[in-house]
Amino acid sequence: MINLSENKTWLVTGCAGFIGSNILEFLLKNEQNVIGLDNFSTGFQHNLDEVQNVVGMKKWQNFNFIKGDIRDFETCYNSTKNVDIVIHQAALGSIPRSINDPLTTHNVNITGLVNMLKASSDNKIHRFVYASSSSVYGDSTALPKKEHLIGNQLSPYAVTKYSNELYANVFAKSYNMETIGLRYFNVFGKRQDPHGAYAAVIPLWFKAILNNEEVFINGDGETSRDFCYIDNVVEMNILCGLTNNKNAINKIYNVACNEQTTLNQLFHHIKQIINFNNNMKPTYRDYRNGDIRHSLADISLAQELIGYNPKYKILDGLKLAANWYKDFFQNKK
């Protein structure tokens, strides 16, 4: 249960992105003061505009936006002044992007995180919640994925996220910080970008099916993932920012639903929810470099120590996402 009766100041990095803008929306709805940091490399002004429309002008006044880059320490230092809790979402996602451009992924995801940790430490911020990734599990075939059992990372992106966890642990020990890392498993939902070369599978398929375009599946379609609706992720971030359970601090948690869905099943679900062209068939193509075959999260640690209880399962989330994407593409016309 989230208790936001006390007013705090939160810093949300990557606030114009998919996950960051949803966290921003929740905090503003609940009368919190929020500082947002983004350089619009993967975030969008229209995400901030949508949040403003949703929360209304009165609550929007509690938001202070800083346009800046986490690779610049001075920007990080200034943005963390007078902040109670940092929610660090800014990063360059995408396994293929990291394979194509490992240097930029490294600089943003590792140097950027260290800048944020150091700035937070300098400004005496004790609670630092940051986004990690299920890609850290790498070539481990064990299912479900348990936080203490990881394999060898399979992409530069995965290496950067594992490095984030190592750095956060060192800062916790060396600078008396309270850090919590969240390994996200295939997050989806409103404001996830359906455009661009590195769009995730769910927004990409909503876009294709709603526009009667070809749907591509990498491999045979039996690859499986633990898809997690955005509101579950928002809840977990807030719970981690507020928890008073000392046993919950300085740990890593899976953020998912403990629900395994194949790509073939996902295609069927989306098509059925949209109620579109039942004869539509996907096009299968080669597997993607750096991808793992199966993924399923054990979420018992987050349930026990944080009180995480994912309200939205895959079908619940897809129905909500479908409504948003229908409106999104209708407004684009």
Active-site residues: which are they? 157
Nearest to 159 by CA among 226, 91, 86: 91
Rounded-to-integer distance, Cα 313 and Cα 32, Å: 28
Q: How far is CA 79 from the centre of its chain?
A: 21
Contact 288/220 with Cβ under 8 angstroms?
A: no
Rounded-to-integer distance, Cα 256 and Cα 144, Å: 11
Q: Give the 3-state secondary structure of residue 71.
A: coil
Contact 187/233 with Cβ under 8 angstroms?
A: yes
Question: Tokens 């970008």 correspond to what residue?
Answer: 193
**Exposure letters 304-328 (e unless 16+ CB within 10 A, then b):** ebbebebebbbeebbebbbebbeeb
